[in-house]
Amino acid sequence: MLTVGDAFPHYSSQACVGIGKDDVKLLTNADYAGRWVVYFFYPKDFTFVCPTEIAEFNKQLKAFDDRDTSVVGGSSDNEYSHLAWRRAHPDLADLKFPLIAAQKLSAELGILEKTEGYCLRAT
């Protein structure tokens, strides 16, 4: 697992950026050049507690932006699972930050549960 001072790995991941049919796109580290980024990871889409926590990031987004900081969420689910979950859950429909498909990235970060293949909670 990365700790303070470790370099964040370069990545290229599909992401759900909205709830429309064209709201899946490729994101990389370069998309956030010149900004701080808070990455948070959660185990799976369609879980009970996660939407409340994710929606809270959205409510606090202006405070992050005031500090030149972007927010990116992710789990080991793919971008289409993220899209379906956002469409199905009213608290997630209006997120203003992406949810990335982070299976590979979470493994590189050391936060992938190896037996079941889901992300551990991490920020």
Query: Catalytic annotation on 50?
Result: yes
Other Cβ atoms closer than 10 A to 115? 5
CATH number for the domain spanning 33: value is 3.40.30.10
Is residue 87 domain-resident? yes
Q: For residue 100, what pLDDT is reported?
A: 98
Give domain status of residue 123, yes or no.
no
pLDDT tens, position by position, 56-94? 999 999 999 999 999 999 999 999 999 999 999 999 999
Q: Which domain holds residue 27?
A: 12-109
The whole model's pTM is what?
0.94
Residue 71 lies in a domain: yes
44-73 burial by CB neighbour count: b if 16+ within 10 A, else e?
ebeeeebbeebbebbeebeebeeeeebbbb
Mean pLDDT, the chain, integer: 94
Residue 29 in any domain: the answer is: yes
Percentage with pLDDT > 90 across the chain: 86
Structurally, how many domains does the chain consist of?
A: 1
The CB density around residue 78, as the number of other CB atoms within 10 Å, is 18
Q: Choosing from 50, 72, 100, 111, which is the catalytic residue?
A: 50
